[in-house]
Amino acid sequence: MMKSSNLGYPRIGADREWKKALEAFWAGKLQEEELRSQLQELRLNHLKKQQEKGIDYIPVNDFSYYDHILDTAAMFGIVPKRFSYDGGVVPLSLYYGIARGTKDATASEMTKWFNTNYHYIVPELDGAVPVLTENKPLIAYREAKEKLGIEGKPVIVGPLTFLKLSKGYSRTETDAWLNRLLPLYVQILQELASEGVQWVQIDEPILTSKLSVEDLNRLKTIYETFASAVPTLNIMLQTYFESVEQYKEITQLPVQGLGLDFVHGLSGNLASLQSLGFPENKVLGAGVIDGRGIWKASLRAKQELLKKLTSYVKPEQIIIQSSCSLLHVPVTVSYETKLGSELKDALAFADEKLDEIVLLTKVARGDVADVTAELEENERAYQTFQLSDKRKREDIQQAIASFADQKFERHLPFAERHQAQQKKWQLPIFPTTTIGSFPQTAEVRKARQLWRKNEWSNEQYAEFIRKEIDIWIKLQEEIGLDVLVHGEFERTDMVEFFGEKLEGFAFTQNGWVQSYGSRCVKPPIIYGDVAFLKEMTVEETKYAQSLTERPVKGMLTGPITIMNWSFVREDIPREQIAYQLAYALRQEVEALESAGIGMIQVDEPAVREGLPLKAEDQAEYLAWAVKAFRLATCTVQDTTQIHTHMCYCEFHDMIHSIDAMDADVISIETSRSHGELIHSFEVNTYTKGIGLGVYDIHSPRVPDVAEMTAMIERALQVLDPKLFWINPDCGLKTRGQKETVASLRNMVEATQLARSNSALNV
Residues 551/483, Cβ–Cβ less than 8 Å = yes
The rounded distance, in Å, linking the Cα atoms of 546 and 540 is 10
Residues 465/542, Cβ–Cβ less than 8 Å = no
* 18 marked as part of a ligand binding site: yes
For residue 717, count other CB atoms closer than 10 A to its CB.
9
Cα torsion for 302, 303, 304, 309, to the nearest 10°? 90
Residues 605/119, Cβ–Cβ less than 8 Å = no
Residue from 68, 328, 674, 698 carrying the catalytic annotation:
698
Instruction: Please return the burial class of 753, using the count of CB atoms within 10 Å of its CB with bins 0-12, 13-18 and 19+.
Output: middle
679 given a catalytic annotation: no
* 634 marked as part of a ligand binding site: no
The rounded distance, in Å, linking the Cα atoms of 537 and 3 is 52
Vertex 710 angle, CA 607 and 700, to 5°: 65
Name residue 603's beta-bridge partners: 557
* 423 marked as part of a ligand binding site: no
CA-wise closest residue to 360 among 262, 271, 507: 262
* 679 marked as part of a ligand binding site: no
* 454 marked as part of a ligand binding site: no
* 624 marked as part of a ligand binding site: no
The rounded distance, in Å, linking the Cα atoms of 599 and 664 is 10
* 365 marked as part of a ligand binding site: no
Phi and psi for 132 in degrees, rounded to 5?
-85, 105
Q: Is 644 left (phi over 0), alpha (psi -120 to 50) or beta?
A: beta
Inter-CA distances, 228 with 198, 201, 225, 234, 260, Å: 16, 17, 5, 12, 24
* 436 marked as part of a ligand binding site: yes
For residue 391, count other CB atoms closer than 10 A to its CB.
15
* 645 marked as part of a ligand binding site: yes
* 713 marked as part of a ligand binding site: no
* 17 marked as part of a ligand binding site: yes
- The SS3 assignment for 728 reads coil
* 676 marked as part of a ligand binding site: no
The type of residue at 264 is H
Inter-CA distances, 662 with 591, 626, 665, 721, 730, Å: 20, 9, 9, 19, 21
* 324 marked as part of a ligand binding site: no
For residue 214, count other CB atoms closer than 10 A to its CB.
11
* 117 marked as part of a ligand binding site: yes
* 647 marked as part of a ligand binding site: yes
* 300 marked as part of a ligand binding site: no
For 398, the enclosing helix (H) or strand (E) is helix 394-402
* 341 marked as part of a ligand binding site: no
For residue 366, count other CB atoms closer than 10 A to its CB.
11
The rounded distance, in Å, linking the Cα atoms of 24 and 41 is 16
For residue 13, count other CB atoms closer than 10 A to its CB.
20
* 435 marked as part of a ligand binding site: yes
The rounded distance, in Å, linking the Cα atoms of 310 and 700 is 54
Burial code of 426-440, b = ≥16 C-beta within 10 A, e = fewer?
A: ebebbbbbbbbbbbb
- The SS3 assignment for 604 reads coil
The rounded distance, in Å, linking the Cα atoms of 262 and 498 is 33
Which residues are known to be catalytic? 698
Known binding-site residues for 5-methyltetrahydropteroyltri-L-glutamate equal 16-19, 112, 117, 519-520, 565, 609
Known binding-site residues for L-homocysteine equal 435-437, 488, 603
Known binding-site residues for L-methionine equal 435-437, 488, 603
Known binding-site residues for Zn(2+) equal 645, 647, 656, 669, 730
Known binding-site residues equal 16-19, 112, 117, 435-437, 488, 519-520, 565, 603, 609, 645, 647, 656, 669, 730
